[in-house]
Amino acid sequence: MKLSELIEHINPLQVVGDTDVEISSIEYNSKQVKDKTLFVCLKGFKSDGHTYIGDAFHKGASAFLVETLPTTPIDATIIQVADTRNALALAAAAWFGHPAQKLTVIGLTGTKGKTTTAFMMKQILEESGCKTGMIGTVGAYIGDEKIPIKNTTPESFELHSLFAQMVAKGCTHVVMEASSQGFKLKRTAGILFDYGVFLNLSPDHISPAEHKDFEEYRDCKKMMFRQTRQAVVNIDGDHWEYVASDVQNPVTFSTNQPASLTASHMENIWEPGLLGSTFTVHGLYEGTVTLNMPGAFNVHNALAAMAIAANLGIPFETVVSALKKVSVKGRTQLIPEAAHLSTFLIDYAHNALSIESLLSMLKSYRPGRLICLFGGGGNRDKQRRYDMGKAAGKYADLTIITTDNPRWEDPANINAHIIEGLDVYHGAYQIIMDRTEAIHYLMDHCKKDDIVALIGKGHEEYQEIEGVKYYFSEENIIREYAKE
């Protein structure tokens, strides 16, 4: 592609050099640069791409996208822009032929529920006959094909590459998790979402490497609605009015007040192989839904997916069928192979808020015992571990303390902070450091009327110990031991 064709889309401040050059690739990592590359200088948390201009030039880069002009002259074309992240997103869209415009793009933002809602939406769309792509925390999917990705919302170039692959393989729709970091770092710049969904908002991802404070986090979520055709909004939680303050004619959903789609008469269902709920909907759809996922928060997730489905004209019967069978890896995921022993589920809850939400919900099913198993992440906030222990002590009848991703920290130190929290409510606990051994112990000692929640790992299939990621799948451990 000619450099001049890309420049048309990125609104440069100035261009120095020849724009009639051929570009063979776009790169923002100098290690990937080759002959005729357009090298994009991104400013990151730890490094600045502008410092690698010389290295990229010697590797063959013929053009550079910069925010500040290089101090040392080079024989290459320099395109200066106000924001290279924004320009990369626009250039990437043009490079791949604007694939997002050939898809119905559904974006989901919120502190919790993005992954679950994405799977629900994908299941509904596929049940209605639409080949669907998905991008999020557990990876990218093109139909049934899974593609590993590094971030919930990938860098813009990877994002448009995925869109292009989806179009090439016959997808008509894509459901994507739109993270606050994705908006902050302009990864979604230039994308017009056909549907933008706001699920909920609570403090999270606040750190020097993410968001400086809650206000910045909240405002990044709000960015969704500056680039959305139709907003879909949960009006039950806090902050929705601020986030959606500029939205015109949103589609709304609720479990306790009038909305475009409202759920009522929610009842728990617990039987072998099923832990979920039934509820009645009014508004965009009318009728009863059975959901094979527990908790009011999953009803909210289902309402979000249903609100979009209704706007897409998908029949209610199709929606009901899809929601009854949907299962999300690592999100209140039941393991049916262990149903003859007890009710085992795996969940990604990894902070106090999510643990308390999960355990209080499971307690409402009135199990004989509510048992949870978890550890804490190493080289992370100590207060977080204490709060997690406190939440477990408040709700669980027994907590098995084990390892999570200790990283470079001594697991015994991590567990000591968890125990301090458990002691606030005098929570009963046992320590079994080997996580596999801990799971086997629970399977040997559980009872039919227990609910056992394995918390923290969720969809992850590794444990990180002293810089090494070892394969570890709770799901497979349960299934294999259940056979024995």
**Per-residue model confidence as pLDDT tens digits over 32-51:** 999 999 999 999 878 999 99
Q: Where are the domains of the chain?
A: 3-95, 99-325, 333-483
* DSSP code, position 2: B
Proportion of the chain above pLDDT 70, given as a percent: 99
Please state the rounded mean pLDDT for residues 409-421: 96
47-51, 207-211, 287-291, 352-356: least confidently modelled range: 207-211
Q: What pLDDT sits at residue 225?
A: 94
Q: Whole-prediction pTM value?
A: 0.89
**Residue-wise pLDDT tens digits, 256-315:** 999 999 999 999 999 887 899 999 999 999 999 999 899 999 999 999 999 999 999 999
CATH fold of 99-325 reads UDP-N-acetylmuramoyl-L-alanine:D-glutamate ligase (3.40.1190)
CA–CA gap between residue 389 and residue 383 (Å, rounded): 10
Confidence of residue 205 (pLDDT cuts 50, 70, 90): low
In the prediction, which pLDDT does 203 show? Answer: 66
Q: How confident is the model at residue 75 (pLDDT cuts 50, 70, 90)?
A: very high
99-325 and 333-483, same CATH topology: no
> Coil, strand, or helix at residue 347?
strand
Give the domain 333-483 fold.
Protein-Tyrosine Phosphatase; Chain A (3.90.190)
pLDDT of residue 255: 96
Q: Is the pLDDT of residue 123 over 90?
A: yes
Average pLDDT over residues 221-233: 95
The answer to whether 296 and 361 have CB atoms below 8 angstroms apart is yes
CATH of 3-95, one of 3.40.50.11810, 3.40.1390.10, 3.40.50.300, 3.90.1200.10: 3.40.1390.10
Q: Is the predicted pLDDT of residue 210 greater than 80, yes or no?
A: no
* Rounded (10°) CA dihedral 28, 31, 34, 39: 20
Residue 223 in contact with residue 187, Cβ under 8 Å? no
Read off the pLDDT of each residue in 460-473 and give the average, rounded to a whole number: 95
Residues in the chain, total: 484
Q: What would the mean pLDDT of 114-133 be, rounded to a whole number?
A: 97
Does the pLDDT value for residue 327 go beyond 80?
yes
Q: pLDDT-based confidence at 111, cuts 50/70/90? A: confident
What average pLDDT does the chain have?
Answer: 95
- pLDDT at residue 73, as a whole number: 84
Quick one: pLDDT at residue 273?
Answer: 78
Partners of 465 in beta bridges: 407, 468
Asked if 328 contacts 315 with a C-beta cutoff of 8 angstroms, the reply is: no
Q: Residue 72 above 90 pLDDT?
A: no
Cα separation, 443 vs 48, in Å, equals 50
Taking residues 204-228, what's their average pLDDT? 83
pLDDT at 202 over 90: no
% of the chain exceeding 90 in pLDDT:
87
